[in-house]
Structure 1
Amino acid sequence: MQVVTGKSVLNGIAIGKIKVYKAPKLEISESLIEDTEGELKRFDSARERAIEQQNALYEKALIDAGEDSAEVFSVHAMMLEDDDLLDATNEIIRSQRHTAEYAVKVAFDNQAKVFAEMEDPYMRERAADIYDIEQAVLSNLFGINTDVLQGTEPCILAARDLTPSETVRLDKSLLLGIITKEGSLNSHTAILARSMGIPALVQCRDACEDWDGMDAIIDGYNSCVYIEPTEDLAKSLRKRKDKDTKQRALLQELKGKSNTTIDGRTIQVYANIGGPSDIGLVQQNDAGGVGLFRSEFVYLNARDYPTEEEQFNAYRLAVETLAPKQVIIRTCDIGADKQVEYMNMVKEENPALGVRAIRICLSRKDFFKTQLRALLRASAYGNLGIMFPMIISRRELRECKEILAECAEELQKQGMKIGSYAIGVMIETPAAVMIADELAEECDFFSIGTNDLTQYTLAIDRQNAGLDPFLDTHHPAVLREIKMTIDAGHRHGIWVGICGELGADLALTETFLRMGIDELSVNPVSILPLRKIIRGIDLSKAPAERTPEE
């Protein structure tokens, strides 16, 4: 038996035979050609086909993994329309008289290297996206069938790495698990595997091609894979897998039950979603509402500024479908790790500390008003909350409310119907925590964005994988800030929730309840496990560990 360690993407057990996937080797000639016009047409045809494929992958990923995970394929489709990339490729064909295959390889590789050398970790990761679309175009030029990756039998797929496109094309019904030599826990492939509920290991450095056809077990709990496991070990892990299956079935029995502790304390458990396509997940997992609708995906999935009507239709669909449940929509949070070309953002040395979220909105008021008008119109169709991100001062919040009031007045003059709505603030900086009492006087609720709050409190770039050893998501400073925010909100009679990743951290659920949190908003698939934990807590008993403020 061989034991190889890696980094676990998802806690779980996968048992089966390994299928080693090798990306096809493409022999690209440097020979010159005479028919440049023909090669230009070949390239354009392959590129158009690649765009169609990326759009199809987007639709598939929506179903398999949700809006957040699918968004990368919309970005890929937009990259394939990039003028600089197209011009560079066409120029190599036209002026240097090279084949379309050679031109794509050189032009796309050069563009990927530009991204790879950037200081911003998010932009560096875009190099992988360039290589992914390069492979898509080359596959079309070579006539390679990219649909067959794993064969026709259930298997654990092993590879050096998998692109997002390759991951989504996998037949989920035949996919038992994934092992890659490279990759990271924050890569698109890891996110997709996690969203699809597939046990996976990345950075399995000792994985090898000789494993093809061997029996294996991925143990996501212990971050390792057993090759040709002993019978006793296989028997033990099968029992663990059966236990996991039964536990998932038991969780389904929690549908329709309340999020109430043993001693009678009830809190709201909401869902975080990326857009209207995730509404089904909200209903399927029995969420009490939507605590975070990430409206930036409306912008990320568009090729130009989305119109008021386009935004209104997206917001109305969510609000109307889920009524009377509350749907809290965060205003545009573009910037930092989320960029769109058509907004022509100025390159910043440190975008996480730059023009992002509400700072963009308040400096581009016409842009902001388009979204606010759409939100106000949608409020007539259900229970809407409007939430402003990255607020660090009372002045900013008041300015947002003034612009919102202007929009409401304009719509009423136009005879448009507006419903009631709540106004909330995301608490995601130490500054917001320190003035939480002042902000609470100006709004109806707080939602704590623990991802950014942790980043800004600990001075750790959450996009930088190299800082993982220094990142403590349970840091006492972060927990104290959460407690301070809850207390400030309650002093002024408003409810307080958490919509960041810590909301789904079951090790902290009791801590948050003892702090007095009113709502937790999490990934839809985390709702029932969270409900189970809540229903097993007895707040009348002394805690095993003291909370930060006790």
Structure 2
Amino acid sequence: MSFQVFGIPVSRGVAIGRAVLVASSRVDVEHYFIDPAGIDAEIRRALRARDEVAREFEALKQDLPGDAPHELAALLDVHLMLLHDEALLGATRQWIVERHYNAEWALSAQLEVLARQFDEMEDDYLRERKADLEQVVERILSALAAQQGRKGGGAAAVVQRDFAGEDPLLLVAADIAPADMMQFKRSVFHGFITDIGGKTSHTAIVARSMDIPAVVGTREASRLIRQDDWVIIDGDAGAVIVNPSPIVLEEYRFRQRQSELERARLARLRHTPAVTLDGERVELHANIELPADALAAVEAGATGVGLFRSEFLFMNRGGELPSEEEQFEAYKAAVEAMRGMPVTIRTVDVGADKPLDRLSASELRHEHVLNPAMGLRAIRWSLAEPSMFRQQLRAIYRASAFGKLRLLIPMVAHLNEIRQIQEAIKRVQQQLTDAGQAYTPVELGVMIEIPAAAVMLPLLLRHVDFVSIGTNDLIQYTLAIDRADESVAHLYDPWHPAVLQLIASSIAQARAAGKSVSVCGEMAGDAAFTDLLLAMGLRNFSMHPSQIPSVKQRILRADSSRLAMALPAVLASEDPEKAAELVLVSAQRTHH
């Protein structure tokens, strides 16, 4: 039966494929295809892990004391029975044979099928056995991970393989943590569907960076969609169509082809300079998460990296922080890949929607903070961990010897924070000088993402070389909205008059002070805002590489001087929709 689920469209385009359901707690299970020649070996891996867990259960039964409750032995018997049930391992074998899934992925896929069956049982006792099944599967996954020489089921590199006849796959989950999302970059999945999240939740941001369709905030998708269902993701309308009719399927396949043709047409602009009709040159920089992303930035025609999110070097590491040498090599690789173009590295921005799997002593005291978005995060965390912060600064300064580097500090709200940062920089410079290690001058910038920073910008500008406006958090904090909470996601409004006023005044003040200013939040990569930001005087945009072509096309068709004349009317508008309409009307006038 065909049905639709609606959510928030966060990454445009159409994706068609089979659903892969993954529980949030198991997203970090390895997902990759195996070669046909390796199928038998993969089945043996699964059976070895099953037998190992069976031996553990048998040993536990043998070691039970004589006065142990009878229920304990009965529970172990239930687990043994589930372990040997053909519905678990037999069906897991089928996923391996027919779909070429690796053992961990196959086991997780079958668990989702069985869990749904348990949920639909009328008998309370039988329904509650789902928890036993999950415990059994977690033990098998741990045994499989141990075979690979790891503790637990940590994420590994995702391998992309193409097999004739394989259907495209779409990931369906209640939620996906930022660290887990990173392993799906260049992965086997062609689209994402989540129950929770908003336009600027990290799942949405990574989906856009991968240039694949995604719908978030669907609330019920992971419960309604079944493993292996045929699904269409309409990333433009925020619709998910499950088991579509042949007519609907053909319509969306046609839209897919049209989208691919448009993408190819825009790609031809790659080497065209971004210059407005009235001769204003605009820098289009890229946001990247990992050094390898710099290559995609160059391919897309970026003229620099406006935001290197260094926190992703700190994630999926089992609690270990990256060493100074490891960070240095990563920053150096990004700088060298950009071939002399500037690279702006943001210091580690963890907390809120990007927690580390390591808690420091200072974080332990804040473990039960009710609102992590306003807690110990970003520069606050770095200043609370001075040795970690200095280590990152040393790595950045050492990499500066290999190209043009800029240092960007997130979530600054106090002048005292700037002074502490400058002191840390002086100390690091002295350490490098004493050690005879080369470095070059590095410009210091701050992110404007807290309203307080926007209001006190004239004071901040006296102490920094440049500013970068992070619109995602600026909107969140200005409107007091958790951007990852789908229940208030509809109130997250980039067109809100207060937001527009803060952005416009920040750009104007930075330009008046002779300091460079960029926008690196999601607004920069949304072509719907290009004319507005040009009107405000912005000449440096930073976005995901995949968004550069569409924004460049908008710039090439714009007359910035005429847009600027329309700006006062836009900022005076009472309603965001009216503001958008005015901007579009003014832009249309310049195109004729």
1:279 to 279, 288, 294: 294
User: Displacement, 1:358?
Assistant: 1.3
Matched, 1:249 2:270: no
- Distance in 2 (alpha carbons) for counterparts of 1:527 and 1:419: 30
The DSSP-based 3-state class of the residue aligned with 2:350 is: coil
Query: What is the match of residue 425 of structure 1?
Result: 446
Structure 1 counterpart of 2:138: 134
Q: CA deviation at 1:180?
A: 6.1
Structure 2 alignment gaps of length 5 or more:
34-58, 65-71, 84-107, 112-133, 148-157, 574-592
Task: Pick from 158, 165, 179 the counterpart of residue 153 of structure 1.
Answer: 165
Query: How far apart are the structure 1 equivalents of 2:249 and 2:468?
Result: 45
CA distance in 2, matches of 1:170, 1:228: 27
What is the alpha-carbon distance in structure 2 between the residues aligned to residue 490 and residue 434 of structure 1? 15
Partner of residue 335 from structure 1, selected from 312, 335, 351? 351
Residue 4 of structure 2 corresponds to 4
Select which of 489, 507, 514 maps to 1:486.
507
Relative to 1, partners in 2 of residues 1:338 and 1:218: Cα closer, same or farther, differing over 3 Å? closer
Deviation per CA, 1:144-171: give whole Å up to 9, x if none: xx99999963546688758868998999
CA contact (8 A) 1:330 1:386 kept: yes
Structure 2 counterpart SS, 1:508:
helix
Deviations 1:30-56 (A, max 9, x none): xxxxxxxxxxxxxxxxxxxx99x9567
Structure 2 equivalent of residue 314 of structure 1: 330
SS of match in other structure, 1:283: helix
One-letter code aligned to 2:165: E
Q: Alpha carbons of 1:319 and 1:13: their partners in 2 closer, same or farther (altered >3 Å)?
A: closer
Per the alignment, residue 570 of structure 2 pairs with 547
Paired with 1:189 and 1:276, the residues of 2 have a C-alpha distance of: 20
Q: Which runs of 5+ in 1 are unaligned?
A: 25-49, 59-89, 110-129
Which range moves more in the overlay, 294-303 or 405-414?
Answer: 294-303
**CA distance in structure 1 between the partners assigned to 2:136 and 2:349 by the alignment:** 26
| C-alpha distance in 1 between matches for 2:77 and 2:330 | 44
1:536 Cα offset (Å): 1.4
Q: Which residue of the partner structure matches residue 397 of structure 1?
A: 418
What are the equivalent positions in structure 2 for 1:358-397 lying under 5 Å apart? Answer: 358-397=379-418
Aligned residue in 2 for 1:259: 274
Shift of the 167–333 alpha-carbon distance from structure 1 to 2, 3 Å rule, reads: closer
Give the fraction of aligned pairs with identical amino acids, expressed as a percent: 32
TM-score where L is the length of structure 1: 0.71
Which residue number corresponds to residue 283 of structure 2?
268
Counterparts in 2 of 1:195 and 1:491: CA distance versus 1, 3 Å: closer
| Contact 1:377 1:418 (8 Å CA) reproduced | yes
CA distance in 2, matches of 1:157, 1:381: 41
Residues 524-539 of structure 1 mapped to structure 2, 5 A cutoff: 524-539=545-560
Task: Report the Cα offset of residue 277 of structure 1.
Answer: 2.5
By how many angstroms is 1:132 displaced?
13
Name which of structure 1's ranges 361-370 and 505-514 shifts more when overlaid on structure 2. 361-370
Query: Using a 3 Å threshold, how does the CA distance of structure 1 residues 300 and 235 change in structure 2: closer, same or farther?
Result: closer
Which residue type is aligned with residue 418 of structure 1? Answer: Y
Checking the alignment, whether the CA contact within 8 Å between 1:272 and 1:523 is kept in structure 2 is yes
CA distance in 1, matches of 2:413, 2:243: 52
Q: What displacement does 1:535 show?
A: 1.1
Question: Can you list the C-alpha shifts for 1:475-534, whole angstroms capped at 9, x where unaligned?
Answer: 111111111111111121101101111111211111001101121111121111111111
Cα gap change, 1:94/1:510 in structure 2, threshold over 3 Å: closer, same or farther?
Answer: farther
CA spacing shift, 1:483–1:182, aligned 2, 3 Å: closer
**SS in structure 2 of the partner of residue 4 of structure 1:** strand
After TM superposition, give the deviation of residue 387 of structure 1 in Å: 0.9
* Alignment partner of 1:353 is 2:365: no
Deviation at 1:393, TM superposition (A): 2.0
Letter in 1 for 2:13: G
Paired AA for residue 256 in structure 1: H
User: What is the 5 A alignment of 1:138-287?
Assistant: 140=144, 153=165, 155=167, 161=173, 182=195, 196-199=210-213, 203=218, 219-222=234-237, 223=239, 225=241, 229=245, 237=252, 239-287=254-302
- What is the match of residue 99 of structure 2? none
Give the secondary-structure state (helix, strand or coil) at the position aligned to 1:221: coil
Output the CA distance in 2 between the equivalents of 1:470 and 1:384: 37
Contact 1:57–1:168 (CA under 8 A) maintained in structure 2: no
In the TM superposition, what is the alpha-carbon distance from 1:371 to its structure 2 partner? 1.2
Q: Which amino acid aligns with 1:316?
A: K
Structure 2 distance, partners of 1:363, 1:369, is 11
SS at 2:562 equivalent: coil
Which of 536-545 and 258-267 deviates more?
Answer: 536-545
Q: Retained in 2: the 8 A contact 1:19–1:150? A: no
1:464 to 485, 488, 505: 485
What is the aligned counterpart of 1:298 among 313, 317, 322?
A: 313
Contact kept in structure 2, 1:217 and 1:229, CA below 8 Å = no
Q: What is the alpha-carbon distance in structure 2 between the residues aligned to residue 354 and residue 10 of structure 1? A: 29
Q: Distance in 1 between matches of 2:194 and 2:392?
A: 43
Amino acid at match of 2:271: G
Distance 1:332 1:169, change over 3 A: closer
Pick closer, same or farther for the CA change 1:13–1:159 going to 2, 3 Å: closer
Change (3 A) 1:171 1:408: closer
Which protein shows a greater Rg? 2
- Matched residue type, 2:403: G
Measured after TM superposition, the shift of residue 406 of structure 1 is: 1.7
Q: For residues 112-168 of structure 1, give each alpha carbon's deviation from its aligned partner in whole angstroms, at most 9, with x where no partner exists.
A: xxxxxxxxxxxxxxxxxx999939717959x9xx99999963546688758868998
SS in 2 for 1:507: helix
Query: For 1:257 and 1:405, how far apart are their aligned partners in 2?
Result: 41
Comparing 493-502 and 389-398, the one that deviates more: 389-398
8 Å contact 1:180–1:207 — kept in the other structure? Answer: no
Q: CA deviation at 1:470?
A: 2.0
AA paired with 2:313?
Answer: V
SS in 1 for 2:570: coil
| One-letter identity of the residue aligned with 1:307 | S
Give the superposed CA RMSD: 4.7
Cα 1:189/1:522, change in 2 over 3 Å: closer
Q: Deviations over 1:351-377 (max 9, x none)?
A: 221222211222332221111111111
Q: Which amino acid aligns with 1:264?
A: G
Distance 1:101-1:268 versus aligned 2 partners, 3 A rule: farther
Amino acid corresponding to residue 570 of structure 2 in structure 1: T
SS where residue 513 of structure 1 aligns?
helix
8 Å Cα contact 2:408/2:446 also seen in 1: yes
Structure 2 counterpart of 1:66:
none
Structural mapping, 1:401-416, within 5 Å: 401-416=422-437
Query: Which residue number in structure 2 is paired with residue 127 of structure 1?
Result: none
Q: Which amino acid is 2:141 matched to? A: V
Distance 2:139 2:207 in 1: 21
- Corresponding residue SS for 1:547: helix
User: Which TM-score applies when normalising by structure 2?
Assistant: 0.66
Distance 1:92 1:185 in 2: 48
Moved more, 90-99 or 323-332: 90-99
- Indicate yes or no: 2:452 matched with 1:448: no
> Are 2:449 and 1:437 aligned?
no
Q: 1:23 to 1:536 in 2, by over 3 A?
A: closer
In structure 2, relative to structure 1, the CA distance for the partners of 1:277 and 1:135 (3 Å cut) is farther
For 1:368 and 1:210, how far apart are their aligned partners in 2? 44
Q: 1: CA distance between counterparts of 2:209 and 2:403?
A: 29
Cα distance in 2 for partners of 1:131, 1:523 equals: 40
Residues 392 and 221 of structure 1: CA distance in aligned 2, closer, same or farther (over 3 Å) = closer
